[in-house]
Amino acid sequence: MHSECCTRGNIARLEFFAVLFFIQSLFAQKLTHGPIAGGVTADSASFYVRVDTIARVNIQLSTTENFATVISGDEQIVAAANDFTALIRAGGLAADARYYYRATINGAPAGEIQQFRTFPPRGSRTPFLFTFGSCQQNRPWQGVPNAGQAFTAMARDLPRFFLQIGDWGYPDTTDTGANPTNFFSLDMRRVQASYRAQYDSTYPLQQVLRLTPLDYVYDDHDYANNDASAFTAPDIAQMQELPIPPQARLNSINGYQRLFPGYPLANANGGIWHKFTFGNADFFMLDMRSQRSSNLNALRRNPGTGKFEFIPNNHRHSLLAGDSTLIGESQRDWLLRELAASQADWKFIVTSVPFNRGLRRALDLTLAAQDSSVFIPGFGTVTGLFVAGSLLDKWVGFEQDQEMLLQFLRANKIKNVIMLSGDLHTAAIDDGANAGLPEIMAGGLDITNSMIVGVLELAGLRIWNRGGQTTLLNGNFNDAYGRINVFGADSVRLEVVDEFGEVLARHTVLDGSLPTGISQRSSNDVMHFTLWPNYPNPFRATASNSPTTLRYSLPARALVTATIYDVLGRRVRQLQQQTEEAGEHALIWEGKDDRGVALPSGIYFLSMQLVFQNGQRQVARQKIALIK
C-alpha cells in the first residue's frame, strides 16, 4: 500500500509539472541575467543563469562560434524559491582551450554568446595575465558619468580571469526610509536582489565577463553591514558593537552558494573561503567577514585619560578564526595547512582588506589625534577616532594573526607569497618592506577615491613604497584596477592601471622572495608565542603512518607544559614540562596515553601553558583528530 501511494504521489507531481510547463509555454520566457562563467578548472566550469519564470535551463558549450559540436551542462529547473536562478556545472572540457557558451531555456538558445578559456593543467608554467579589484557602485541611479570605465580598460587586457574582492555594488544601500534595516542580508530577497544588481548586463563589468571567468569574495557592504564581523557591526560614532542576527550571516553564506558560480568552499559551515589553482599559481580566497572577531575588541579605554588605546598582540582577537563555535576546520588552520602543502611556484593570498603592516603607524597616529578632525574624500570631515576605527577593520587591527602568518611563512621557508587586497578606495603597491609581503592594493574600481594613501604620505607615512595613488598634489585619482602578469616560475609583475589604461605603479617580484619586515619586539612588550596547527590533522596512529607533529615558537625562555586531554577533559598524556629557550620547537604525539597504550579514535585537545621569566603566563589550546 505504501509503495502504491508513493507511486501515485510521484505521478501526481509529474502531472503537476507537466501542466505547469504547458501553462508557462504559453508565455515568452526571458533570460534576465547571465550566463556568467566561474569556478573554472582545467576540465570544467560553472555558470550562473537567471530567467523570469519557471523553466528548464541549461548551458551549451562549443569550441567553435557556430556551435557545430555542442557540450551541454547539467540541466536544471528553476523556480521562485531561488529567484529563478540556476548554477550549472559542465565537465569533460579540454585544458587550456577557448570555449563559446550560451544559455538555453526549455531547449532553445537564449541570450548572448560569450567565451572563456579553461585553465592549463596544474603545474603548467605558461605565462598568464589576470586582473582584480574591489569597491564599485554599479548603481545606474547614481548618475556618475562614465561609471565603470575601469572595466572598459580591463577588457582590452584580455585577462584569463577577473577577481572581484568585495563591495560589489554595495547592496546594503537597498536600505530605504521605508525599509531601514541595519542588515540587508536578514531578508533573503534582498540578498537575491543584490546579486541581480551585480549581474546587471548594462554595467561595463559585462565587457570583461563576456571574455573571461569570474571569482569573488565578499567584503563588508556585500556581507551584512559596513565593517561587519562574524557576529557584530561597529557603531564607531558610539564606540559600541551592534549584534548581527545569525540569520543575516547565514543568508550571506547561503546566497553565495546558491547565486554565484564559484569553487567548492573549504568549510561552508562558517564562511566562503576557498582555493583554486591556475597552472603554477595557487589562489587562496579569504573570507574576511564571517570569521573575524569584533573590530572594536582591539581597543580599550584608559581610565586615567579617558582615551582609547590599541591592545597589541590580542590573542582572543582573530581575523581568520574568530568564531569559536565553528564546526570543522577554521579558516586560519586551513590557510596554514594549504600554504605548507602548496607545490605551486606562486601563492596569491586574496584578502578584501589591506595587509600592510605599516598601517600600524597610521593607527597609532590617528589614536593620538582621536579628538581632532580630518577631511577624507568620500567620507567628509571625521574624527581621528573614526579613522582609527576604520583602520581596525584591516589586518593591522588583528596584529596577532598578521604576525603569525609572517612567522609561519618564514619558519617553513614558504617563498613567493603575494598579497592582493582592496577596501581602502584607492590603489598602491608595496614591495614588502612595509607590508611584510609584496602587496598590491586595488580598492577603487568605481567609487570616490579616498586619497588615504596620499594623506598618509603627507603625514610622513610612506608605507606603499612602489607608488600608485600616493601623491595628493597633481596625483592621479581616477578609478583603477590591479593587473598581474605571471611569467612562468621566473617573476610576477604587479601593476596599478587607471581607467584610461595609464600605469600608475609597477613592481616585479622575483622568484625566491620571503617575508620581510617582521617586527623585533623590545623586552618591554607583552610576550607572545605562536602555536602552529599540528600536522597531519587528522592523523593515524599506526605502525605504517607518522605521528602528528606539534610545532611552536617562543619569543623568550619559558617553562613549557604540554598536555593532551580527551573530550571529557581527562588528562591522557603529558608530553612535556620543561624550560625551553627562545626559538622554534616541536613535539611528537603518537596517539598514546601516559602508559604507552594506543588511544581510541576521537577528538583530543592539546593544552600548552607557558610561564616566562618575567612572570607572564599564557595558555593556548588546539584540537587534534585521531583516527584508526
**In angstroms, rounded to a whole number, what is the distance separating the alpha carbons of residues 129 and 396?**
30
8 Å CB contact between 384 and 362: no
Closest residue by Cα to residue 33 from 192, 250, 212? 192
- The answer to whether residues 618 and 610 touch, using CB atoms and an 8 Å cutoff, is yes
In a domain, 520, yes or no: no
Residue ending a domain, among 117, 138, 173, is 117
Q: Indicate whether 349 and 464 sit together in one domain.
A: yes
Query: CB neighbours (10 Å) of residue 170?
Result: 21
Whether residues 38 and 168 share a domain: the answer is no
Please give the biggest Cα pair distance in the chain. Answer: 84
Coil, strand, or helix at residue 16? helix
SS (H, E, C) 469-519: CCCCCCCCCCCEEEEEEEECCCEEEEEEEECCCCEEEEEEEECCCCCCCCC
Distance CA 354, CA 424 (A): 8
Among candidate residues 117, 136, 157, the one where a domain is terminated: 117
Residues 375 and 498 in one domain: yes
Cell of 56: 528548464
Please enumerate in sequence order all residues whose Cβ is within 8 A of that of 256, keeping only pairs 6 or more positions apart, or say none: 218, 262, 272
CA 449 to chain centre: 22
CA-angle at 114, arms to 108 and 118, nearest 5° = 115
Domain that holds residue 170: 128-510
Query: How many domains does the chain divide into?
Result: 3
Do residues 73 and 204 both lie within one domain?
no
Predicted pLDDT at 16: 54
Q: Are 92 and 163 within one domain?
A: no
Residue 196 lies in a domain: yes
For residue 579, list its beta bridge partners: 559
Residue 6 belongs to some domain of the structure: yes
Distinct helix (H) and strand (E) counts, the chain: 10, 34
Q: Give yes or no: residues 226 and 279 share one domain.
A: yes
CA distance 6 to 12: 10
Q: What is the β-pairing status of strands 162-164 and 128-133? A: parallel
Judge contact between 587 and 576, C-beta under 8 A: yes
Pairing mode, strands 539-540 and 617-627:
parallel
CATH code where residue 579 lies: 2.60.40.1220
517 located within any domain: no
SS (H, E, C) 370-428: CCCEEEECCCEEEEHHHHHHHHCCCHHHHHHHHHHHHHHHHHCCCCCEEEEECCCCCEE
Domain assignment present for 27: yes
pTM attached to this predicted model: 0.80
Per-residue pLDDT reduced to its tens digit, 171-188: 776 776 776 677 899 999
Do 424 and 300 belong together in one domain?
yes
Contact between 489 and 512 under an 8 Å Cβ cutoff? The reply is no
CATH number of the domain residue 112 falls in: 2.60.40.380
CATH of the domain at 420: 3.60.21.70
Query: Which parts of the chain sit beneath pLDDT 50?
Result: 1-2, 22-23, 25-26, 141, 518-526
Q: Are 539 and 443 in the same domain? A: no
* Contact between 300 and 314 (Cβ < 8 Å): no
- pLDDT, residue 534, reads 79
- Cα separation of 250 and 323, whole Å? 13
148 shares a domain with 291: yes
- 275 lies in some domain: yes
DSSP-assigned letters across all residues of 560-598: EEEEEEETTS-EEEEEEEEEE-SEEEEEEE-SB-TTSPB
Residue 195 resides in a domain: yes
Does residue 616 belong to any structural domain of this protein? Answer: yes
Neighbours of 183 (CB within 10 A): 23
159 and 32 fall within a common domain = no
Q: Are residues 302 and 437 in the same domain?
A: yes
Same domain, yes or no: 136 and 90: no
Instruction: Scan for cell 597552472, then name that residue.
Output: 279
The domain boundary residue, chosen from 481, 510, 539: 510
